[in-house]
Amino acid sequence: NAGVTQTPKFRVLKTGQSMTLLCAQDMNHEYMYWYRQDPGMGLRLIHYSVGEGTTAKGEVPDGYNVSRLKKQNFLLGLESAAPSQTSVYFCASSQTQEGYTFGSGTRLTVV
């Protein structure tokens, strides 16, 4: 019963470097989401997907790209990391809008 798995759990990047965060879910959920969590800000939606092969922008999409080539995977890419992208990133999945399942998060520091 893995649920939603995020890799890596921690990462330190230098400004300008790129990386990809991987999210995998084993619940056959249609919808997947990437959020970032910053102190005092709650969770903010970066991008989301309503099904395999689809993606859409959320509230704070700039500086990020996503892909959903397989239903179970949702990738978040940072092409050129900036210190403002230091945050904790959470992936979530759902079958409806009535309850999300979250991963355990990726703590990213950009120096």
Partner 1 sequence: SQQGEEDPQALSIQEGENATMNCSYKTSINNLQWYRQNSGRGLVHLILIRSNEREKHSGRLRVTLDTSKKSSSLLITASRAADTASYFCATDPAVGDTGGFKTIFGAGTRLFVKA
Note the residues at the interface with partner 1 (CB under 8 A): 4, 31, 33, 35, 40-43, 45, 48, 50, 56, 58, 90, 92, 97-105
CA distance 13 to 106: 13
- Comparing CB distances to partner 1, the nearer of 58 and 63 is 58
CB of residue 111 vs partner 1: minimum separation in angstroms? 21
CB of residue 110 vs partner 1: minimum separation in angstroms? 20
CA distance 111 to 102: 27
Phi, psi of 84 (to 5 degrees): -65, -10
- Comparing CB distances to partner 1, the nearer of 40 and 62 is 40
CB of residue 107 vs partner 1: minimum separation in angstroms? 8
- Comparing CB distances to partner 1, the nearer of 85 and 106 is 106
Closest residue by Cα to residue 109 from 89, 83, 76, 77: 83
CB of residue 81 vs partner 1: minimum separation in angstroms? 22
Which residue carries 């945050």 as its tokens?
87
- Comparing CB distances to partner 1, the nearer of 72 and 102 is 102
Alpha carbon of 75 to those of 28, 39, 46, 98, 111: distances in Å? Answer: 16, 24, 12, 23, 22
